[in-house]
Amino acid sequence: MNKIWFITGTSAGLGRGMTETLLRRHDKVVATLRQPDALDNLKQRYGDALQIITLDLTRNDSIRSAVTQAFALADKIDVVVSNAGYGLFGAAEEVTDSQIDLQIAANLTGSIQLIRAVLPKLRQQGGGRIMQVSSEGGRIAYPCFSLYHATKWGIEGFVNAVAQEVAGFGIDFILVEPGPTGTRFAQSLVMAPPLAAYDNTAAGKMRAALLAGEFAIKGDAGRTVDAMIAAADMAHPPFHLPLGSTAFNNIHRSLNQQLAELVTQEAVAAGADAP
């Protein structure tokens, strides 16, 4: 059965790939982006199967307007894909106040407000699925990505709580956690001005590796899109969806390390209980 999808951030990357793949299989897509002409070629090819809405995730009024338009265009939206976002690169001391504000507004607050805006619509239609594109960086951390991680860890915590709140309404979630993938994510990073003091630190080494093209990218964008769509098609999909061997291995290693540390603290934790 063909589905209707509402997808943010469709001008490039995974959002664009999902839109193209879904239209090819005769699904319908309500696509949002900041520059609507970026999808002109797809609109010409697929006509009314593709509806395009302008959305600025840093503005709550834009989010609410886009959601209202999207649900007015479709009798029912089956899957909401919260995909829009970008990366801010730099040590915590290097990034500027304005860079921090924009990163949080686009990646965290924008995603939160989008989900808040679609929840009443999904309740009214009897349920639906929300796919939040997070990252392996929502469960592990690299130097120079502290603010990006803050947004991804933040949205994962938000979704974990909201999923429990709305499960009784037939609304469920998938947290997509790709590792480094062959999109233009690295090329579109916002770079903080470097401080020489960090040259010989983990942050400086990460910057040098990134600029030298030494950061391994194993994930394939097309296969990542296919895996996301396949998960959204499942009757009972996984809540966490790590994609790419780098993401799986890094998350697996981190969870094992956290568990090993946790079990050593059992007596200390119990000792903080009231007598």
- H or E element, residue 28: strand 28-33
Query: Hey, what long-range contacts does 92-97 have (CB within 8 A, 24 or more apart)?
Result: 92/146, 92/147, 93/195, 93/198, 94/192, 94/193, 94/194, 94/195, 94/198, 94/203, 95/146, 95/147, 95/192, 96/192, 96/193
As given in the structure block, the two tokens for residue 229 are 């769509």
**Helix ranges restricted to H, 89-189:** 97-103, 110-125, 146-166
* Distance (Å, whole) CA 189 – CA 169: 38
Residue 148 among the catalytic residues: yes
Catalytic (active site) residue 152: yes
**Exposure of 241 by Cβ count < 10 A (0-12 exposed, 13-18 middle, 19+ buried)?**
buried
For 121, phi and psi rounded to 5 degrees?
-65, -45
Rounded-to-integer distance, Cα 176 and Cα 241, Å? 5
CA–CA dist 40, 11 (Å, integer) = 10
DSSP conformational letter for 188: T
With H, G, I as helix, E, B as strand and everything else as coil, classify residue 29: strand
Indicate if 135 belongs to the active site: no
Q: Which of 28, 111, 121, 148 is catalytic?
A: 148
- Cα 24 off chain centre by: 23
One-letter amino acid for residue 198 of the chain:
Y
Catalytic residue among 3, 111, 152, 198: 152
Single out the catalytic residue among 82, 134, 135, 146: 134
Task: Give catalytic residues, as residue numbers.
Answer: 134, 148, 152
